[in-house]
Structure 1
Amino acid sequence: MSWLNNGAAIDLSDLDSRFYLVGSGSLRVQSARALDAGAYTCRAHNRLDSADHSTQLHVLTPPRVTLPGGPVVTARARGDVTLRCEARGRPPPSVAWLKDGDPLTPNNHDIALVDGSSLRIQGVLRVDAGMFQCVASSPAGQAVAALRLRVLPPDDGLELERDNGTAVSAPRGLRAVIVKHRFVTLSWEPPAQAEGDLTGYAVVYRVKGSERERVSRGVAGRHEMNVASLQPNTTYLFSVRAYTDQHTSPPSDTIEVRTSEEEITHGPPVGLRGEALGPHALRLAWSPPVAAPPPTKYSIQYTEVDSGREQFQWVEADASATSISSTVSGLRAASAYLLRVAAAGGAAAELRLRTPSDAPAAPPANVTVVATSATSILVRWEAPPARTHRGPLTGYKVRYRAAAPESGPAPAPGPGGPRRKADSLTTPADQRRAELRGLDTATTYQIRVCAINANGSGPFSEWVSASTQRHELDESRVPPQPPPLTTRAGRDWISVWWGEEVGGVVVRGYVLGWGLGVPDDAARDLPAHLHSHVIRGLESNAEYVISLRASNSRGLGPAVYATVRTRAPADDDAEPDDEDDDDDDEVDEPPPLIPPVGVKVIMLSGTTAVVYWTDPTLPKGQTATDGRRYVVRWSSAGGRARTFNATDLNCMLDELRPFTQYEFAVKLIKGGRESAWSMLVSNTTLEAAPGSPPRELRPAPAPPPASPARAVDLTWQPPAKPNGLITGMYEICYRL
């Protein structure tokens, strides 16, 4: 009987180990630690077979709290600050904040939890200064870390000589030209009076009923501003001030704006449910949202909880259907998934499911066997592809049997007559070799291997054969010289291989050496079953001396040598086959990100546009806190494409050409990956005053019946930059 932890054998003979057997084979873990958590397998085995039983150990660890920002954090009044707190533990702890000993209640407007543990304060007040405590709690205990917040005076320029209406008057006509659920676009007229040049504007805003003011600044030449990162269905108060190098104007008239509800065309699907169809597929079913008309297209976003891998697929549906179903395939076995189903442009319904585990789907690869003595055979193999494990592997099972003689009568049935059943040897999952001992001398054995997990055994590999030696090999002396070397050279590599040893002496391994003009400048130890190797990283068009020695417990034997010249750089050569390199498991390419949807463009003027969109990977009402950003691309017909980086779900673009049609697209970038571009959206900028005068003005004598002495005929071409449709009205100015 033996015990395994996550597929690796536990050494129960170690006197300093915290693992030991009690009773008839039970395992006791003394002073359990977090690293001890995982799957434990009890394995009973004999020569014929083995049997496993697995269980899961969960180790609770008390919470631990760290403050990345240190014990003192400084912020400016009217600014924003995030008090960083990282909490760890098993199970993951919940986090609460205290201010000067009193609980803080986030309101998702001015004070909110981000990333589940950090505290964000928008519109810092002087009264916010004090002691904050981050408290992490779980069933395993509680941990607290404290920091002090220092609030400095604001540095937004509004502390200059203010309310001096004679120096700089207040901006006029403040109004909201665009009101959406996440942003508001404001417009105003410049002050009627200003001593000196204006250097900019500052929009001051706050949630109605709150004292926490925030400031957004803009340049003097722009009389519009896009105020982003607002909350849906919330009332805000806005005012604007102008400022110069010395003065700040009084605030404009305050306007009250209520953001709209989150823009969704449908509610969440009704009755979302799911079931596992196997270790790699889940089936989902739901009913259409309550609101009419019913949607005809749904999106399914599914995220692997452990790795965070996000994938999605679209589902077409009949508008008259009362129930819709779809299968999500290509999933990992024994993995938890978070699934979100939403009608196109609508709210999502969430469901958490887990794919079941199953027996491995593929056999081990590259099974090789070699006789090591008259009574033993060494078996080696490689793990099956990771995607076929269908759960953590707990070991490998080696089946072997003596092959039937090639000639001679078959054994008679009956007691002692039938051929003996295949024997079995089971290894831990981290061991990919096994030595079969106690075999018959000069006998051919058939061997195959399968992988094991908690659900059973996978398919066996094909039978491979090896024969034990007729006599025990001698190890009282060093091995003889290996057979002659065969080589093949490339530009920067040399491939070497050799035959089997003959001489009746045990060989435990080889030492391959090489060097420029001399042997053994570099060397590599190779196992006894390998008879080839590729030497890489060599100089081109250079002569190398290669040596090979066999070794055993008595030492190194005599060497065999070969001299090889690598090819010149201009020579074309194919890459060699790495016969001795292990094949790595295939690494799945990360799936592409879901592109933004619902891109819309509103033109504010002939040179300014506001672009906004929806990120389907963000739940309703949630802002991005994972470092994602967006790239907005726009171009006119035949023009060069330009881009703008945004961290919010909207942006304002300037320096457009009046009365010009543009195409806009948005893509998401997150964690080094990026989505495809969204669907293109077109819009035309507004008209503006002509940007150039009429061209080619030419006077000519007036034709009859007008008198040439009293009339003149004028002709001209339209402006080169009309910035709109010419209405046909031109103003002609003339003088003596």
Structure 2
Amino acid sequence: MVVSLQLPWCYVLITLFLSFTLSLSVGNTLQSPVFTKQPGSIVFPVDSMEKNREVVFSCEAQGDPPPFYRWKLNGSLLNSKPGSHHSLSGGNLRINHLNKEDAGTYQCLASNSFGTIVSREASLTFAYLENFRSHKRSSVSVREGQGVVLLCGPPPHSGALTFSWIFNEYPSFVKQDSRRFVSQETGNLYIAKVEPSDVGNYTCVVTNTVTKTRVQGPPTPLILRNDGVMGEYEPKIEVQFPEIVQVAKGSTVRLECFALGNPVPSISWHRVDGVPFARKVDVRKTSGVMEIPYFQQEDAGTYECVAENSKGRNSVQGKLSFFASPQLIEKPQDVQKAIDDSLVWECKATGKPKPSYRWMKNGENLEPTEERVQVINGALSITRLGLSDIGMYQCVAGNKYGEVYTNAELRVIAVAPDFFQNQLKSHTLVKEGGDVLIECKPKMSPRGTISWRKGNDALRAMLKRIVILESGSLRISNTTKADAGTYTCAAHNQFGEASSSGNLIVKEPTIITTAPNTLDVTVGESIILPCQVSYDPSLELKFTWFFNEQLIHFGSHGGYFEKVGGMHAVPGVCVSVQGACAGSGGGSSHTMCAFCFVPVPKVVGGSHLTATVIELNPWVEYEFRVLASNAVGTGEPSKPSKKARTKETVPKVTPANVSGGGGSRSELVITWEPVPEELQNAAGFGYVVAFRPFGATGWMQAAVPSPEASKYVFKNETILPFSPFQVKVGVYNNKGEGPFGPVVTIYSAEEEPGRAPSRLRAKSLSAFDVEVYWKALPWSTSKKRVLGYELRYWEKNEKEDKASLLRTVGNRTMAIIQGLKGCTTYYITVRAYNTAGTGPPSPAVNVTTKKPPPSQPPSKVMWNTSNSKIILNWEQVKPLENESEVMGYKILYKRNQFSRPSIMETNTTSVELSLPTDEEYIIQIRPFGEGGEGSSSRQITIPKISGRSSSAN
């Protein structure tokens, strides 16, 4: 498009205001999106839902233009429009009026004109603990000397549980020893050998570690039978650990082992391979628990628990298997490539099992192709790069214990040669006999060929005196008067050619013909030091004098030094003007105007009053401003001209990201991103959707007249489930039809899965969490494919129609249901699902969840330092009635607020930390027990000191 305008000034630069959205600003560098804050998983206490039913997932990204945000729940985009209980505040997702359907996996998407990146996954789960059933429990009758197990049976719950037992009345809690054991796995109370003093009522106390809720079960009476004393018998191991236990790197693993028997069995632990325990291993022989903190690779192996008394010996074994979630050790970096180049991005991560890799482009999975795109051992390679490859890429390294994301931007440049910003110097001076470099730096991609000519004659290398460098610049050595002239650099690639010219001027060298010489003078005598030169008369001459290698500033020494004769010249001033862009507010709150230099055919001289502005967008209103420039600088821009609108034309830009799928039976759903208004080129803009079954020849077409439309649904009863269609979307306006976009394959709505998963099993992890396993259905792309699994779970005393849902994505065969009630029996079913719905359920299984940790924080914390040790002391934490006993304390210490804390455990109320005292430390103390970790003490800041003490109550 072409617009002409009047120019009133001498040298001018033309600028314009575009009335469509751009985000360019002086001094700002355009930047692809980069996350500065990503969402973290949230466990929401159901008890607080009536008070404040709201959560916020954080998400923040940097970028220019500023990124806009979207969110996914379980892989599907969320509706955050007005009226929805999902809303966006910046990038943060706020969920009001929470309900159980909001549980799931969330991801934040940040996008700008460079592309889209996806955050790590963050889950929302609900934690709760219901009350025990109020019915009375039957008494348990045993003989003296016999072993007994009292069942807790925690109520429905979600979230980790801790357990303790009350004997007769509060606050008389059962104390664990070699004869009595409370399992934190099942909640049950085990008495190895019953004595008359054990007779009484036992009450299970369950605590939710998340909600801090505590409930008590009905009492279970324990009575002695009157038919004699139980004889001695060998140990019978009632509390066992699994055959295989997966343990995360750096975590604490806790194994339980307890046996019934008469006499009371002793419990011992060892490694089957004979390797002695590390000092960190905590073996509590009296309570049947072994703990290994900070689990590392060398701690993996088979462990054995041995229960032994005078009547015999029994043992159980289990293997501790080490795993580590992925950690990136090599990340791809942003890169700019020329069109048709090749790209290799390395991405490496550590982890056990060894991580697998996948790549994403603009938030969608990138599928490798044999021809151009390959992923080998995490490395992404793309050959024959094109403009369609531009975007944001993410490497995702994952194993079954987690995923890590890293992102990088790919820019592909395809530019015809252009000297606009790097013209050859109009005049280059060189002295005769000297060397000169004439730089030629056109902007072009891919790199093309560069040639030179002098005048109208092609330039040839001459005995290595005239050389065209690899960079394209021209070097001339030992110049002569004959080398003077006009030189032209010509650049060429497949997109075009351009040239730029400049003059080389060869001057006579400046030579000192009479130099100062050594003189013997009398103190106080004035002298004149001669300095005569021969030089090119067209050049200004400047003399500079030095005394003992220090510059002499004439006039600043009280007349001590004086310059006589010679020529005084002002140094030349070179002024260059370059284009810039600056953001400016437009006439609408939704419009930004851009202040930018635009291309003109050539430099506009001061005598010109008109200029032609090219490469504008059709059907767009523009304003123009003019700036004048001379050797001193550039003046202020003129006032904006009247608005001028370019003419209409047929549309040229097709919709982006054509995709679809899903929907109801017999539907083909097609979606796309609408074309921006500034690219619609005329009024009456709309879309033409063309589609056909895969393999057919003729196209069916439908017109969608709304320019804001982004979806079309074709419904026909003859459409088979999950059938492939070829789809393309074109554009039109009042001036005619534009092009169609590329053909993509979209599948019609599919059928729900026809089979149920099998071998469903459930295991209680805590008062709030249950681990569920099942056997997967065959993974395929058939018409009844599986996208994931849906778990339904409900309390024993509820109906299935009140079940809560938890969905997994992909062919995973394990899930953890969180936020359950403690000591509650749940029924669980699993079924497969896809975009059409869910399949039939598996047979239901039941599982009973597992007393809260101490809620009181450690008090009267005292500290002092000695040499390289920090010594801490505090008061013993006393649990409340419905809380578990304190088994020990965790000391968390770190160097500053932002570093990760180190952890040390102790079962006493004092500890010595061997730390340098020349650094500041932040310390917290947290009790833990069978119910988990309790409330922390307030933060204690220990400054850089030595030999001092203080307290932090």
User: For this structure pair, what is the TM-score category when the shorter chain's length is used for normalisation?
Assistant: 0.3 to 0.5
Q: Which has the higher contact order (CA 8 A, sep 6+)?
A: 2
Tell me the TM-score normalised to structure 2 length. 0.26
